[in-house]
Amino acid sequence: MNKLDTYNARRADKVSVLIIYSVIILMILQSLIVGGVSEFLDMASKSSVVLVLVAIIYFLPINKYLRGLLFGLIPGIVSLVLFLMHFILLISTISFLQQQPLSPCTSKRSF
């Protein structure tokens, strides 16, 4: 008994690529609006790695279900890496502030 696989993986892959590219473009535009050109260039350079990775995965001759899994894992992995980067930055900031004693304000201004 032959089962027909009606799951169109190529169409699902195209939708996944479109969604990933759209989210990345929105993130880049947000960084331009909020942070200016320097933040835009920083975000664009970081995001280009993900864009290239998605394009490579789309054209690789691998199993369609593995490709779908990879498309699903990319946003999760990027979110995890960004979370870890922010967490490490937070820990290093706390560690730095603990080493620097806070001194009281020494100005003699009177209001």
The tens digit of pLDDT for each residue in 18-74 reads 999 999 999 999 989 998 899 899 889 988 988 999 999 999 999 988 998 998 898
E strands, 1-111, are none
Reading the block at residue 108, the tokens are: 């003699």
The answer to whether the predicted template modeling score (pTM) of the entire model surpasses 0.95 is no
